[in-house]
Amino acid sequence: MNKQKYTDRQMRLAGYAKALGNPIRVAIMEFLAQRDTCFFGEIHEQLPIAKATASQHLTALKNAGLIQGEIMPPKVKYCINRENWNEAKQLFGTFFSQCECHKKSCCS
Amino acid sequence: MNKQKYTDRQMRLAGYAKALGNPIRVAIMEFLAQRDTCFFGEIHEQLPIAKATASQHLTALKNAGLIQGEIMPPKVKYCINRENWNEAKQLFGTFFSQCECHKKSCCS
DNA sequence: AAAATTGTTCGTATTTTTGCGAACTAAAAC
DNA sequence: GTTTTAGTTCGCAAAAATACGAACAATTTT
């Protein structure tokens, strides 16, 4: 029974991936990446979903650590969480460089 | 109602991300990346889950396009799908370079 | 031919995700 | 103080993900 549990790094990578595993959330992140200030309303305007649903997706991204919210009554400004974004960037970078699939050596 | 639907690129990125949105599947991909030939049994050996569950996760990765299976009776050999792996690598690379968060300009 | 090996599929149960409208909260504007 | 504005949270329903054991299929071995 040498079943090894996955590592903390794998957990973190999976967590970020899961957060990005939905086209709406990808669109939100890209929208945030392009603009300096993003109020909820601006974000919601771009999306073909109800306000409540948009709020949920933002909460999911926030819980994953990819964004952060700042309350500016009566608005809420969201922005990318730089620290975690960079961690995710690094994790995915390392992940994808594990297999240099242009070489014939990987996968027969 | 200028709600724009997400793009095909965003869909593809989200699809790959969703497939990687689970630590077991991340572990499977990393295991495959390290070895040239991987039979189901070898993969399952590494995982703390039932055979049926492992098979499901492999099917999920295969449906996402990240791996491919080759039947070698009575075994099945899995390997990374190089073409799609490279597409995913490129998609994530582009995605994460959209916001150079070391600059102060992004997110206040 | 019978038995063993190697995985997949089926059936089921539990949990999580997704989405919406309605109700709610908090500050701003009037 | 009442009304607007801007979002969040609640409650619900439907769908998808996760996990397992049992049954099944296909080839190899005996």
> How much is the pLDDT for A73?
82
Chain A residues 37-96 within 7 Å (CB) of strand C: 49-53, 56-57, 60, 73-74
> How much is the pLDDT for A105?
46
Q: At what angle do helices B23-34 and B51-64 cross, to 10 degrees?
A: 80
- Compute the distance between CA of residue B3 and CA of residue B42 in angstroms, rounded to an integer: 47
Which sign, positive or negative, has the C-alpha torsion B79, B84, B86, B90? negative
> How much is the pLDDT for A76?
96
Which residue shows structure tokens 């926030």?
A62
Q: Identify the residue among B30, B102, B105, B107 best suited for mutation to test binding to A, counting A beta carbons within 10 A and taking the highest.
A: B107
> How much is the pLDDT for B37?
74
Q: Identify the residue among A20, A85, A105 best suited for mutation to test binding to B, counting B beta carbons within 10 A and taking the highest.
A: A20
Distance A18 CA to D25 C1' (A): 34
Q: Verify if strand C has an atom below 7 Å from the CB of B56.
A: yes
Residues of chain B with pLDDT under 70: 1-4, 101-108
**Identity (one letter) of the amino acid at B52?**
A
Residue A8 has φ and ψ, to the nearest 5°, of -60, -35
> How much is the pLDDT for A10?
97
Q: Which residues of B touch A14 (CB under 8 A)?
A: 20-23, 25-26
Q: Which residue is nearest to nucleotide C20 (CA to C1')?
A: A50
> How much is the pLDDT for A102?
63
The residue of chain A with its CA nearest to that of B93 is A93
- Compute the distance between CA of residue B32 and CA of residue B35 in angstroms, rounded to an integer: 5
SS3 content of chain A, % helix, strand, coil (to 5): 55, 15, 30
Neighbours of B96 (CB within 10 A): 20
Residues of chain A with pLDDT under 50: 1-2, 105
